[in-house]
Amino acid sequence: MPHDVPEMRNVSALAEQLGFTANHIAQFAENHSETEILQRLEKLAAWLAKVNSQNHDGVELTQVIVDHLSRNANFDELLGELTYLNEETRHGRFDINNSLQRDLEYKRYVSEAKRQREWPKTPSEQRAAFNELAMLPPPQDTSEFQLTPEDLVETKRAAYEAKLLLDFLSECRAQTDRPIIVVGNERYGRQWIVEPLEGYLNGNFEVRYDRVPSHGSMRLTVPHYLERFQRNGFPPEFMRQLSEQMSHVVIVDECSPRRTERFTKYPRGVRDLVNWFMVFNDIRAEGNGSVYESDSTLPPHHFPELKKWHEFVVVRRRIREWITPGPTYKISHWAPELKERVIMGDMIIPSKPPDFRDGKPQVILANPAIYRTEGNDLPAILEGTHPYYFNDPEKQVKEEILPGFGAHGFETRIKGFTTDEYVAAVQKRIRVELEGMLTY
C-alpha cells in the first residue's frame, strides 16, 4: 500500500517538533500505520504540553520512554502509565529499579546540570552521568562552621579596618548636619565592612547596599540600573531621594593590594559610580559643566569624552525624570593612609580629602584598607595578616552539590559547608573583635 505523502509530512513535522529521531519514527512504524502514528504523536504532544513546564519539571523523550510509547498497546493507557509514575514520584514513592520511572526524571537532571558549573554539559556526558546516579542518603544538618586559625587572625584585620571607617564616619557626623548615607558596595564593601558595622551606624546614618561590579568595567562605564535587567547602580527611588535631600554619600569598598605602594587605590566599580554622579550633576546643573567639573576630581580631559559616550547619554536620558535642577555633588577621597594620588582603574589623579567647611554635599569614596604589611609603625593587630584576604569567599569555602535519587525522584544533597555559612561565621567573629576594640 503506497504511503500517504501529506500524512507522512505531518508525521515528520510533528516528530521533529517533539525531538524524535528517524529511529524513533521507525520504531513506531513497526506496529502502526502513518495515520495511527500521527494520532499518537498528536496525543503525545498534548500530554507533553501538560506535564512540561518552564522550570526543571517536565519530561524528555529518552530512548526508554520512546520504547514504552512505541509498544503495540492502547496509547492512552501508555500515557496514563507515565502520568501515574510521575504522580508516584511527586508523592514520594519513587522506585529507582523502575527504568521508566527513573527516565521520567532525566529532564530534571539535565535542567539542573545547566545551572551547576561543575556538572556535565554535553548530552552524551549528561546521559552517562545520569545512568550512574544512585540513591542518596537522607539530608543531614551540619554543625556550626568553624573558622581556621588563619581566618581568625584575618578577622582582626577586617575588624580593625571597619573600626577605622567607623571613626571616620563619626568625625563626619560631628562636622555636618546633612544626612549621611553609607553605601556598602556589593560584595566586599558590604560583607566585610558595612554589615559588621550596622549596629553602630543605626540612628546616625542611613545604610544601604548597591551593586556596581568592577569586572567588565572600563574608563567610561556608567552604571545603568535597568540595562539588560542587571541591577547595577542605584534604583530610581534612591535617585529621587538624592535629588530631594542631597545627602552626603559615603561609598565603601576595598580592592586588591596591587599598585598600592604609591597610590591610594579604589575599585573600578567605584570609579564607575563617579561617572554616574557626573551624569547626576549634569542634570542638576542643566548641562552647565563649569558648575561641577572642577569638583569631580577627575582629569579635565575626561569630561569631553565622557559626555559623548553612549552610556552617559543613555543614562542621562533615563534618569532625568527623577532628578531636578539644583546644587551638585563634589567628589572626595578617604583612606586611613590617604596618599597624594589615588588610582581608580587606569586613572591616576590627585587625592582630595573630605572638607565639610563649604557646606557642599559630597560623595566620599572610602577604602578603609591598610595595605602595608610591615613597618615600625604598623599596628600590631595587622602583623601577620593579609590585605583583602576575604575577597571571593567562595574560593575559601564552597559547598558541593551532589546529584542522585531519593523518595521524590531526582534529588540533590549538599556536601560540606556553604559559602554563606562561611560568610556568616566570619562576620560574627568580626563583630566580636569590633566589640572588643570599641570597649577599651
Containing 193, the helix (H) or strand (E) segment is none
Q: Does residue 364 contact residue 330 with C-beta atoms inside 8 Å?
A: no
Query: Hey, what's the cell of 332?
Result: 572626595
Containing 424, the helix (H) or strand (E) segment is helix 419-439
The pLDDT of residue 23 is 87
Task: Please list the pLDDT of the chain residue by residue as tens digits (440 residues).
Answer: 444 555 667 778 888 888 888 888 888 888 888 889 889 899 999 999 898 866 678 899 999 999 999 999 999 999 999 999 999 999 999 999 999 999 999 999 999 999 999 999 999 999 999 999 999 999 887 788 999 999 999 999 999 999 999 999 999 999 999 999 999 998 899 999 999 999 999 899 999 999 888 887 888 888 887 655 556 789 999 999 999 999 999 999 999 999 999 999 999 999 999 999 999 999 999 999 999 999 999 888 898 999 999 999 999 999 999 999 999 999 999 999 999 999 988 899 999 999 999 999 999 999 999 999 888 889 999 999 999 999 999 999 999 999 999 999 999 999 999 999 999 999 999 999 999 999 86
How far is Cα 155 from Cα 428, in angstroms, rounded to an integer?
9
Q: Does residue 76 contact residue 43 with C-beta atoms inside 8 Å?
A: yes
How far is Cα 317 from Cα 145, in angstroms, rounded to an integer?
48
The pLDDT of residue 409 is 97
HEC profile of 258-313: CCCCCCEEECHHHHHHHHHHHHHHHHHCCCCHHHCHHHCCCCCCHHHHHHHCHHHH
Query: Hey, what's the cell of 68?
Result: 514504552
Q: State the alpha helices, DSSP H only, in 19-178.
A: 22-29, 34-51, 63-69, 75-90, 99-103, 106-115, 123-131, 149-175
Q: Does residue 248 contact residue 361 with C-beta atoms inside 8 Å?
A: yes
Q: Does residue 336 contact residue 285 with C-beta atoms inside 8 Å?
A: no
Q: Does residue 147 contact residue 425 with C-beta atoms inside 8 Å?
A: yes
HEC profile of 344-394: ECCEEEECCCCCCCCCCCEEEEECCCCCCCCCCCCCHHHCCCCCCCCCCHH
CA-to-CA separations, 428 to 15, 198, 262, in angstroms, rounded: 58, 12, 34
Give the distance, in angstroms, between the CA of residue 257 and the centroid of all CA atoms in the same chain.
23
The pLDDT of residue 4 is 52
How far is Cα 270 from Cα 274, in angstroms, rounded to an integer?
7
Query: Hey, what's the cell of 18?
Result: 517533539
The pLDDT of residue 2 is 45
